[in-house]
Amino acid sequence: MRLDKELVLRIAKNARLNLTEPEIKEFLPELKEVLDKFSELSKADIPSNVNASFQPIEVKNIFREDKIEKCLTQEEALKNAKHKNDGYFKGPRAI
Amino acid sequence: MNVEEYVTGVRKGEISVKENIKKILNEAKKINKEYNYFNVISDDALTKAEEVEKNRKGKLAGLPISVKDCVCVKGMESRAGSLILKGYKPVINATVIERLEKEGAIIIGKTSQDEFGFGSFSTNTDNIPKNPLDKMRSCGGSSGGAAGFTRKTENVHAAIAESTGGSIACPASFCGVAGLTPTYGVVSRYGLIDYANSLDKIGIIGKNVKDTKLVFDVIKGKDERDSTSVDADFKDSKVKKIAVIKESLNVDKEIKEIVLSKVGKVEQVSLPLVSKYALSCYYLISMSEASTNLAKYCGLRYGESLELNGNFNEYFSKVRSKFFTKESKRRIILGTFARMSGFRDAYYLRAMKLRTLIIEEYKKLFREYDILVSPTMPIVAPKFSDIKKLSPMENYMMDILTVGPNLAGLPHLSVNIGTKDKMPVGLMLIGDHFAEEKLTVKGEELENRD
Residue B346: CATH number of its domain: 3.90.1300.10
User: What's the mean pLDDT in B277-283?
Assistant: 97
How many domains would you assign to chain B? 1
Q: Across the interface, do A11 and B337 touch by the CB < 8 Å criterion?
A: yes
Q: Give pLDDT tens digits for B302-319.
A: 999 999 999 999 999 999
CA atoms within 13 A on the CB side of B149: 40
**Phi, psi angles (nearest 5°) of residue B168:** -105, -50
Residues of B whose CB is below 8 A from A14: 336, 340
Residues of B whose CB is below 8 A from A56: 184, 198-199, 355, 359, 407-410
CA atoms within 13 A on the CB side of B343: 18
| Cross-chain CB nearest to A15 (options B184, B291, B357) | B291
Residue A14, chain B, CB below 8 Å: the answer is yes
| Cross-chain CB nearest to A52 (options B316, B352, B408) | B352
The alpha-carbon gap from B91 to the nearest alpha carbon of chain A, in Å, equals 6
Helices (H), A15-51: 21-38
Whether cis (ω within 30° of 0) applies to the bond prior to B142 is yes
Q: Across the interface, do A16 and B183 touch by the CB < 8 Å criterion?
A: no
Confidence of residue B116 (pLDDT cuts 50, 70, 90): very high
Do the domain assignments include residue A60?
no
Name the region of B51 (left: φ>0; alpha: ψ -120 to 50; beta: rest).
alpha
Please list, in sequence order, all residues whose beta carbon lies within 8 angstroms of the beta carbon of residue B30, skipping any fewer than 6 positions away.
none
Q: Which helix (H) or strand (E) holds B186?
A: none
User: What's the mean pLDDT in B23-49?
Assistant: 98
DSSP, collapsed to helix, strand or coil, labels residue B392 as helix
Question: What pLDDT, on the 0 to 100 scale, is given for residue A1?
Answer: 61
User: What's the mean pLDDT in B168-184?
Assistant: 98
Do the domain assignments include residue A48?
no
**Phi, psi angles (nearest 5°) of residue B71:** -100, 125
ipTM: 0.95
How, if at all, do strands B178-181 and B412-420 pair? Answer: antiparallel
For chain B, give the number of residues.
450
- Give the domain extent around B115: 1-450
| Cross-chain CB nearest to A91 (options B273, B312, B354) | B312
Q: Give pLDDT tens digits for B295-305.
A: 999 999 999 99
Q: Which of B167, B288, B328, B374 is catalytic?
A: B167
- Residues paired with residue B134 on neighbouring β-strands, in sequence order: B131
Does the annotation mark B142 as catalytic? yes
Helices (H), B220-349: 253-263, 272-293, 312-323, 326-339
Please list, in sequence order, all residues whose beta carbon lies within 8 angstroms of the beta carbon of residue B192, skipping any fewer than 6 positions away.
B70, B71, B72, B94, B162, B200, B202
Do the domain assignments include residue A35?
yes
Residue B341, chain A, CB below 8 Å: the answer is no
Do the domain assignments include residue A31?
yes
Q: Are B434 and B411 in contact (CB under 8 A)?
A: yes
* B193 to B88, B197, B223: CA distances (angstroms): 11, 10, 17
- Give the domain extent around A25: 5-43
Does the annotation mark B112 as catalytic? no
* B297 to A85, B85, B167, B440: CA distances (angstroms): 20, 8, 22, 38
Can you give the pLDDT of all 95 residues of chain A as single tens digits?
678 999 999 999 999 999 999 999 999 999 999 999 999 999 999 999 999 999 999 888 888 889 998 899 999 999 999 999 999 999 999 87
Distance between CA A19 and CA B126 in Å, rounded? 20
| Cross-chain CB nearest to A14 (options B88, B315, B336) | B336
Task: Count CB atoms within 10 A of the CB of residue B408.
Answer: 27
Q: What is the pTM of this model?
A: 0.97
Task: Provide the chain B residues 352-371 that lie in CB contact (below 8 A) with chain A.
Answer: 352-357, 359
**Closest CA relative to residue B204, chosen from B9, B431, B25, B440:** B440
Residues of A whose CB is below 8 A from B303: 80
Do the domain assignments include residue A26?
yes
Do the domain assignments include residue A85?
no
The alpha-carbon gap from A24 to the nearest alpha carbon of chain B, in Å, equals 10
Q: Are B211 and B186 in contact (CB under 8 A)?
A: no
Task: Provide the chain B residues 140-179 that lie in CB contact (below 8 A) with chain A.
Answer: none
**Closest CA relative to residue B381, chosen from B117, B120, B81, B113:** B120
Does the annotation mark B167 as catalytic? yes
C-alpha angle with apex B96: B325 to A82, nearest 5 degrees? 45
Task: Count CB atoms within 10 A of the CB of residue B379.
Answer: 16
Average pLDDT for chain B = 97
User: What's the mean pLDDT in B157-175?
Assistant: 98
